């Protein structure tokens, strides 16, 4: 659709050039992307009631179809964009601002403080957007779909309005027709008709792991975040600095700045400086010294610092000020001086893309005044439990056959120990419509969805089928030759133009936990381009006889060392290994990998194991 559009940035600081306007250009870009035919213009005004009104009036007189303002909607004294807008619009359109509010509240409570106004004047639609680039783009995204129709209505373009209305009613009709099938196309089969063998090929753990890692490599989104929130995130660019540190010659000791060539002997104390004092203009001459503190500037002329411990007082005035001191030990040139850039030199690559940000990295960002940092975006993760028998943890009196949802909190906290947060998307019954609805909602706001339960062979195990049939998902694997975790499923689908990853984990608590560790965490790491090893393999000594299952078995074990002087690691199972018994994960320090059909009578023997650091 072709229309004219103006973006007005309202900001004192941008207007005074003490800040750079990021929101206005970003909105222009978003308009170009969403409405390629639109002709856009841009203006920058201070937070001045009169100037805002004048500009809005001018644009309305010029019949600009869409006027977006960004900024001046806050609560500070100078924020008057809504008042100025209100004073000129003829018809207010509260639905637009309410939509922005409701949707923004899903992201942040701060939205409660938004005061945006939207409405029409003459042939123009005017909408106030927040001042921050993020807020402005988000709000624009929430309302962009109605802009063409709103402009048609304002301009009374009857043909277009009719078209839109007929499209809407057709869409409603189609949805109504679909309703009886609501909304899932999957039906629970009568038990006699269900499959008795799985249609999914059983693949090896290694193959499944590689599929997960390879698929998770496809995401390299970058975002800029404040350094305060950057711990454990992965750098998305090299960090090069043009600021040397220290930026001045700094003393390493509390002592005296001297000329080394003067050697040991008497010095006249010219003056004294504390750390933080500006020493510029002061010059140390032969025979003189200046008192300095650790971290303070070394004045010009001086080429060494002598620590106070290597000096003695010769003469002081009545107030106790030093007049003369003795340097007891001949100084060496540059002694106890940090030269400019000795900690961080100029124009070097300080950190490289791919590094995981530690507390020390953050300290260095702070030193250099890098307040924001580019990192790889993490996946937005949603977690839902499924099962007719699964109840909220708050359920006091469980009905017969019901149990509380332990998977949700186990997995949320397991993710947390690796630094990832996930949204709790509730407990969903084994009902095709409800599951479809829940997955659809989950896909709307998340990149990675983890489900537990509903992937085995029961007639109520519907997840795989719903993913395939309702979401046209590709099941990358649906069965793995491992124990616990045989029915672990990894799938992908497109939703609203973006790729979703789905980990449908088995419901048994141990299975969910082990497969979350072995598949989900590595995937989330890879998604954010982290090069950290997800797990560390080692050889474990087993002292008791073990008979392998027909699948590869990941047994939860404690690890001890053979002796204080012998670091050989001994693996001892943490009790009964049945996959419902979450107790086997409590205190487990490793996963012992017992190959399928493993059998040996030679004790002790060694097997691969995975170290569980957390
Ligand atoms: P499913 O994978 O749905 O066949 O479930 C396998 C077993 O795990 C059953 O005994 C379920 O009751 C149990 N289970 C499934 N989901 C959960 C959950 N969220 N919390 C605790 N146990 C669960
Ligand atoms: Mg179930």
First-to-final CA distance of the chain = 55
Q: Which of 384, 385, 386, 387 has most ligand 1 atoms within 8 Å of CB, for mutation?
A: 387
What pLDDT sits at residue 178? 33
Q: Specify if 143 maps to a domain.
A: yes
pLDDT digits (tens, 9 = 90+) for 252-274: 999 999 999 999 999 999 999 99
> What is residue 228's three-state secondary structure?
helix
Do 485 and 395 share a structural domain? Answer: yes
In the predicted structure, residue 170 carries a pLDDT above the cut 60? no
Do 413 and 469 share a structural domain? Answer: yes
* For the chain, the helix, strand and coil percentages under 3-state DSSP, each to the nearest 5: 30, 30, 40
Residue 306 near residue 255 (C-beta atoms within 8 A): yes
Provide the sign of the torsion angle of the four alpha carbons 302, 307, 313, 314, taken in this order. Answer: negative
246 CB within 6 A, ligand 1: no
Q: Specify if 533 maps to a domain.
A: no
Q: What rounded mean pLDDT belongs to the chain?
A: 93
Do 209 and 133 share a structural domain? Answer: no
Burial of 179 (0-12, 13-18, 19+ CB in 10 A): exposed
Residues 525-538 have a mean pLDDT of 89
Residues 69-93 have a mean pLDDT of 96
Q: Specify if 193 maps to a domain.
A: no
Q: Alpha-carbon distance 27 to 115, whole Å?
A: 19
508 CB within 6 A, ligand 1: yes
Kindly report the backbone phi and psi dihedral angles of residue 263, in degrees, each rounded to the nearest multiple of 5, phi listed first. 65, -160
In the predicted structure, residue 392 carries a pLDDT above the cut 90? yes
- DSSP letter string over 89-110? -SEE-HHHHHHHHHHHHTT-GG
Q: How far is the CA of 404 from the centre of ligand 2 (A)?
A: 13
Q: Specify if 184 maps to a domain.
A: no
Do 27 and 126 share a structural domain? Answer: yes
pLDDT digits (tens, 9 = 90+) for 226-252: 999 999 999 999 999 888 999 999 999
Q: Specify if 177 maps to a domain.
A: no
Q: Which residues surround ligand 2, an ion (CB under 5 A)?
A: 387, 453-454, 507
Q: How far is the CA of 387 from the centre of ligand 1 (A)?
A: 7
In the predicted structure, residue 10 carries a pLDDT above the cut 90? yes
- Give the domain-ending residue among 527, 554, 582: 527
Q: Specify if 200 maps to a domain.
A: no
What pLDDT sits at residue 172? 44
430 CB within 6 A, ligand 1: no
Tell me which of 2 and 549 has the higher pLDDT.
549
Q: How far is the CA of 406 from the centre of ligand 1 (A)?
A: 9
Residues 13-19 have a mean pLDDT of 95
Q: Specify if 594 maps to a domain.
A: yes
Q: How far is the CA of 471 from the centre of ligand 1 (A)?
A: 24
Q: How far is the CA of 264 from the centre of ligand 2 (A)?
A: 84
pLDDT digits (tens, 9 = 90+) for 475-519: 999 999 999 999 999 999 999 999 999 999 999 999 999 999 999
513 CB within 6 A, ligand 1: no
433 CB within 6 A, ligand 1: no
- DSSP letter string over 66-95? EEEEES--SSSTT--HHHHHHHH-SEE-HH
Do 446 and 511 share a structural domain? Answer: yes
Q: How far is the CA of 388 from the centre of ligand 2 (A)?
A: 7
- Give the domain-ending residue among 316, 338, 360: 338
> What is residue 224's three-state secondary structure?
strand
Q: Cα–Cα–Cα angle for 127, 139, 380, nearest 5°?
A: 175
Q: How far is the CA of 469 from the centre of ligand 1 (A)?
A: 23
Domain of 364, in residue numbers: 222-242+345-376
Q: How many domains, in total, are found in the chain?
A: 5
What pLDDT sits at residue 213? 96
pLDDT digits (tens, 9 = 90+) for 406-465: 999 999 999 999 999 999 999 999 999 999 999 999 999 999 999 999 999 888 899 999
Kindly report the backbone phi and psi dihedral angles of residue 578, in degrees, each rounded to the nearest multiple of 5, phi listed first. -60, 145
Q: Which of 384, 406, 435, 452 has most ligand 1 atoms within 8 Å of CB, for mutation?
A: 452
Do 362 and 332 share a structural domain? Answer: no
Do 136 and 48 share a structural domain? Answer: yes
485 CB within 6 A, ligand 1: no
Q: What is the DSSP-derived secondary structure letter of residue 141?
A: H
CATH code where residue 273 lies: 2.170.190.11
What pLDDT sits at residue 320? 94
Burial of 30 (0-12, 13-18, 19+ CB in 10 A): middle
Atom 23 of ligand 1: nearest residue by CA position: 507
407 CB within 6 A, ligand 1: yes
For 159-163, 446-450, 588-592, which range has the lowest pLDDT when averaged over its residues?
159-163
452 CB within 6 A, ligand 1: yes
Q: Which numbered atom of ligand 1 lies nearest the CA of 508?
A: 8
Q: How far is the CA of 385 from the centre of ligand 1 (A)?
A: 9
Residues 41-67 have a mean pLDDT of 96
- DSSP letter string over 485-532? -TT-EEEEEEETTEEEEEEEE-SSHHHHHHHIIIIIHHHHHHHTT--S
Number of H helices, E strands in the chain: 15, 32
The model carries a pTM of: 0.69
Structure tokens at 414: 């397991």
Residues 317-331 have a mean pLDDT of 96
pLDDT digits (tens, 9 = 90+) for 195-208: 888 989 999 999 99
Burial of 169 (0-12, 13-18, 19+ CB in 10 A): exposed
Do 310 and 398 share a structural domain? Answer: no
148 CB within 6 A, ligand 1: no
CATH code where residue 558 lies: 2.40.340.10
387 CB within 6 A, ligand 1: yes
Quote the distance between the C-alpha of residue 496 and its chain's center.
21
Q: Alpha-carbon distance 450 to 491, whole Å?
A: 11
Structure tokens at 329: 């030990």
What pLDDT sits at residue 247? 95
Do 547 and 470 share a structural domain? Answer: no
Closest residue by Cα to residue 608 from 502, 531, 535, 545: 535
Q: How far is the CA of 453 from the centre of ligand 2 (A)?
A: 5
CATH code where residue 383 lies: 3.40.980.10
What pLDDT sits at residue 33? 85
Q: How far is the CA of 575 from the centre of ligand 1 (A)?
A: 20
Do 128 and 152 share a structural domain? Answer: yes
Atom 15 of ligand 1: nearest residue by CA position: 507
Q: Alpha-carbon distance 440 to 522, whole Å?
A: 25
The CA dihedral of 597, 600, 604, 610, to the nearest 10 degrees, is -10
Q: Alpha-carbon distance 531 to 537, whole Å?
A: 16
Q: How far is the CA of 387 from the centre of ligand 2 (A)?
A: 4
Q: How far is the CA of 414 from the centre of ligand 2 (A)?
A: 21
pLDDT above 90 as % of the chain: 83
Q: Specify if 106 maps to a domain.
A: yes
Do 213 and 147 share a structural domain? Answer: no
Atom 17 of ligand 1: nearest residue by CA position: 507
Q: Which numbered atom of ligand 1 lies nearest the CA of 389?
A: 12
User: How many CB atoms neighbour CB 25 within 10 A?
Assistant: 14
Residues 136-161 have a mean pLDDT of 90
- Give the domain-ending residue among 338, 368, 394: 338
User: Which H helix or E strand runs over 139?
Assistant: helix 133-143
- As a residue count, the chain comes to 614
Q: Which of 385, 403, 583 has most ligand 1 atoms within 8 Å of CB, for mutation?
A: 403
Q: How far is the CA of 429 from the centre of ligand 1 (A)?
A: 12
**Predicted confidence band at 566 (pLDDT cuts at 50, 70, 90)?**
confident
406 CB within 6 A, ligand 1: yes
Do 424 and 554 share a structural domain? Answer: no
Tell me which of 499 and 3 has the higher pLDDT.
499
Atom 3 of ligand 1: nearest residue by CA position: 453
Q: Cα–Cα–Cα angle for 572, 577, 582, nearest 5°?
A: 105
82 CB within 6 A, ligand 1: no
CATH code where residue 366 lies: 3.90.105.10
Residues 40-57 have a mean pLDDT of 96
Q: Which of 385, 453, 510 has most ligand 1 atoms within 8 Å of CB, for mutation?
A: 453
Q: Alpha-carbon distance 184 to 173, whole Å?
A: 18
């Amino acid at each position: 659709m072709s229309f004219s559009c103006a973006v007005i940035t309202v900001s004192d600081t941008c207007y005074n050039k003490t800040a750079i306007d990021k929101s206005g250009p970003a909105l222009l870009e978003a308009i170009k992307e969403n409405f390629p035919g639109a002709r856009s213009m841009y203006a920058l005004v201070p937070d001045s009631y009169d100037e805002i009104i004048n500009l809005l009036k001018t644009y309305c007189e010029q019949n600009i179809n869409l006027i977006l303002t960004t900024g001046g909607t806050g609560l500070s004294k100078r924020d008057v964009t809504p008042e100025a807008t209100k004073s000129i619009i003829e018809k207010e359109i509260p639905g637009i601002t309410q939509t922005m509010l409701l949707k923004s509240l899903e992201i942040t409570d701060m939205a409660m403080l938004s005061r945006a106004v939207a409405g029409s004047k003459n042939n123009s639609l005017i909408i106030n957007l927040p001042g921050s680039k993020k807020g402005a783009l988000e709000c624009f995204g929430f309302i962009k779909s109605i802009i063409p129709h709103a402009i048609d209505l304002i301009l009374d373009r009857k043909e277009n309005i009719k078209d839109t209305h007929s499209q809407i009613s057709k869409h409603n009709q189609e949805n109504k027709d679909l309703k009886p099938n609501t909304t899932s196309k999957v039906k629970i089969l009568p038990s006699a008709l269900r499959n008795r063998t799985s249609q999914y090929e059983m693949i090896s753990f290694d193959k499944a792991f590689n599929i997960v890692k390879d698929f998770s490599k496809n995401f390299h989104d970058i975002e800029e975040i404040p350094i305060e929130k950057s711990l454990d995130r992965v750098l998305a660019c090299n960090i090069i600095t043009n600021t040397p540190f220290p930026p001045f010659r700094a003393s390493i000791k509390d002592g005296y700045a001297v000329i080394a060539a003067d050697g040991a002997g008497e010095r006249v104390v010219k003056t004294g400086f504390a750390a933080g004092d500006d020493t510029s203009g002061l010059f140390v001459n032969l025979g003189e010294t200046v008192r300095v503190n650790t971290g303070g500037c070394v004045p010009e002329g001086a080429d060494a610092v002598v620590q106070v411990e290597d000096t003695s007082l010769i003469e002081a005035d009545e107030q106790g000020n030093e007049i003369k001191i003795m340097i007891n030990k001949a100084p060496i040139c540059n002694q106890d001086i940090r030269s400019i850039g000795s900690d961080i030199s100029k124009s070097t690559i300080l950190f490289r893309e791919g590094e995981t940000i530690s507390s020390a990295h953050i300290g260095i960002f702070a030193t250099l005044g890098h307040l924001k940092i580019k990192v790889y975006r993490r996946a937005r993760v949603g977690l839902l439990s499924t099962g007719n028998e699964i109840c909220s943890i708050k359920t006091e009196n469980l009905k017969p056959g019901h149990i509380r949802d332990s998977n949700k909190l186990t997995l949320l906290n397991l993710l947390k120990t690796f630094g990832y947060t996930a949204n709790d998307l509730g407990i969903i019954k084994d009902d095709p419509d409800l599951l479809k609805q829940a997955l659809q909602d989950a896909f709307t706001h998340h990149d990675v969805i983890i489900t537990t339960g509903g992937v085995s062979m029961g007639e109520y195990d519907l997840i795989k089928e719903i993913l395939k049939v309702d979401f046209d998902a590709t099941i990358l694997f649906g069965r793995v030759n491992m124990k616990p975790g045989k029915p672990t499923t990894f799938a992908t689908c497109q939703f609203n133009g973006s790729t979703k990853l789905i980990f449908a984990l088995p419901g048994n608590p141990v299975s969910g936990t082990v497969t979350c560790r072995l598949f989900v965490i590595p995937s989330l790491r890879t998604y954010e381009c982290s090069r950290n090893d997800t797990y560390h393999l080692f050889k474990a000594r087993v002292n008791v006889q073990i008979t392998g299952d027909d699948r590869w078995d990941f047994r939860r074990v404690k690890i001890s060392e053979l002796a204080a002087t012998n670091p050989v690691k001994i693996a001892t199972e943490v009790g009964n290994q049945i996959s419902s018994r979450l107790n086997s994960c409590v205190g487990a320090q490793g996963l012992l990998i017992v190959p399928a059909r493993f059998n040996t009578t030679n004790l002790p023997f060694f097997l691969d194991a995975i170290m569980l650091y957390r």
